Structure 1
């Protein structure tokens, strides 16, 4: 079996957890790891993934091997396991564009080389490292930088996994350009493995399957990593609220008073994310049902499990000659795919595709 050669656009907490998950799989390829939904996807094990390069703008990361870059001050995700064969993958400079707009600019020192790096430089690096799949894990709201990476991948002939809320897979024109080029474009906005959106939409699907009528719902999330620091800026978080709203609509929340999204940065939480969700519904004889739930997770490993599925899905779809969004198969992996599905349908579609 050939490898899945992956590059990371962004060497932050999610990239760090994903890299550790890959290293854990490489150390013992036959073990079925906790949290890995599928041991194989299209014949690829997680141990077949190779992280061959990453891109960033942080002076504490650029120019370093991957393992050293993940010791930068901005990293707060737990160090579970050392990196293996991918530890020396280079962290390359990326064009900064709007990547450090908002609160991040106060905590990240810009690498000098990022000032002069171009989209063409990124495309050249993707080609030189023979990348199969580029995973975009940039800060929410960095619209220019995210789209730059999508266009660089398109020019280099590389599939894309868009883990951000920026609308790439939902962009009809960009999706067509990827399809015309014979390239896979998966997105948008990664749905954490067992996260706020998965829990929330599963509960909604349960109530609707019993014939209840939704009255109102909310999902409030707080955390302490750089993602939540970035999202504390209303200008940066707008696309996240829109993405969460798309996920609720796919679950069946239409003419209902509902809101979901990040509501606060609490520094001492570090990589811990806390979700408070509430659902009110009407049942038999007008009786009321109310669900209040609190979910506490470590944010970045929760993303790593989904990226593990997404990169292998992207490579599998490419091997099968598919292109564009691969809509139904990808719906379980993203909050805001081109065509959303209820949780159970999305899971069935994914498993059917990868089996």
Structure 2
């Protein structure tokens, strides 16, 4: 099949892990890679995905080929493998807008070219590089920058995967514009392959399936990458808390006292993420159940597996003449889609689409 041409809005840790995942697949196209939920989606293998360009504002990345940009100081995700055919994809300047507000502004120096970049430059580049799918992986809270990329993709007729909590797919007006333009919009807020929300909601669904009555829950997350540094600012993390709350409600906790979200930046953890989750419930004869779980994962590879699915969904949907938001497939891939589903239903819907 023809390759799926991907552009990355944000050449950060998640983009680095995703690019490595595609490199592994390109090196052995028929391999069944750990963490890849579906070997093919719409007939596309992960080996059929290629990154043709990226956008960033970091002076340590802009103007460099992708392989060199991923060596920037802000990158903390593990280097598992060298890049393959994507290594020379250029990192293009993007408008700074609100991407570096908050703590990130102290550790990332914007490139001069980024100060001069415009939304029109982004839309033009998407056309020039013949991009099929744009993956938006910008810092949480970068509302203006995220929406700029969405509008640029819409103007260029490029499908969007919104990895951020910014409400794009949940925005009725934007959703309508994408549908009317015949462009696919997938989001919001990427659901990690096996992360805190996946584990938390699976436990909730298991308890509810046994007729147990839930009373309260919490999910606390700490980490040391630039995402957690950014989220240490309460003004930047508000949308993340809202997104995780949406995921818990979709799992069946609409009337339960609960909170979930990022609660701390610990620099020496680097790309490691630690989740502490607790659930209290009442069972037979009023007997109590308490579950306390600690989950430790590397954060960015957890996102890569889901991006690998999402970009193939975006291209497959475009091939099939679909547009706008795809309610039957986004619930498995995102924490806060317009219409959430329990994990088992979401997985069945995704696999049905993928075939």
Query: How does the TM-score come out when normalised to structure 1?
Result: 1.00
| 1:201-220 matched pairs, under 5 angstroms | 201-220=201-220
| Distance in 2 of aligned mates of 1:176 and 1:255 | 30
Can you list the C-alpha shifts for 1:275-330, whole angstroms capped at 9, x where unaligned? 00000111000001111100000000000000000000000011000001111211
Corresponding residue for 1:287?
287
Can you list the C-alpha shifts for 1:113-164, whole angstroms capped at 9, x where unaligned? 1111000000000000000000000000000000000000000000000000
| Distance in 1 of aligned mates of 2:208 and 2:320 | 36
SS in 1 for 2:348: helix
| Distance in 1 of aligned mates of 2:354 and 2:190 | 18
Q: Is 1:322 aligned to residue 355 of structure 2?
A: no
| Distance in 2 of aligned mates of 1:325 and 1:205 | 25
Which ranges in structure 2 are unaligned for 5 or more consecutive residues?
Answer: none
| 1:267-282 matched pairs, under 5 angstroms | 267-282=267-282
Query: How does the TM-score come out when normalised to structure 2?
Result: 1.00
| Distance in 1 of aligned mates of 2:256 and 2:348 | 27
SS in 2 for 1:37: coil
Q: Is 1:27 aligned to residue 16 of structure 2?
A: no
Corresponding residue for 1:161?
161
Corresponding residue for 1:61?
61
SS in 2 for 1:350: helix
Can you list the C-alpha shifts for 1:183-217, whole angstroms capped at 9, x where unaligned? 10000000000000000000000000000010000
User: CA RMSD of the aligned region, Å?
Assistant: 0.4
| Distance in 2 of aligned mates of 1:233 and 1:327 | 32
Corresponding residue for 1:184?
184
| Distance in 1 of aligned mates of 2:135 and 2:31 | 25
Corresponding residue for 2:256?
256
Corresponding residue for 1:110?
110
Corresponding residue for 2:172?
172
| Distance in 1 of aligned mates of 2:248 and 2:330 | 17
Can you list the C-alpha shifts for 1:209-245, whole angstroms capped at 9, x where unaligned? 0000100000000000000000000000000000000
In the alignment of these two chains, the number of paired residues is 355
| Distance in 1 of aligned mates of 2:7 and 2:327 | 22
Shift of residue 348 of structure 1?
A: 0.6
Q: Is 1:70 aligned to residue 70 of structure 2?
A: yes
| 1:306-321 matched pairs, under 5 angstroms | 306-321=306-321
Runs of 4+ in 1 over 4 A off after TM superposition: none
| Distance in 2 of aligned mates of 1:120 and 1:204 | 45
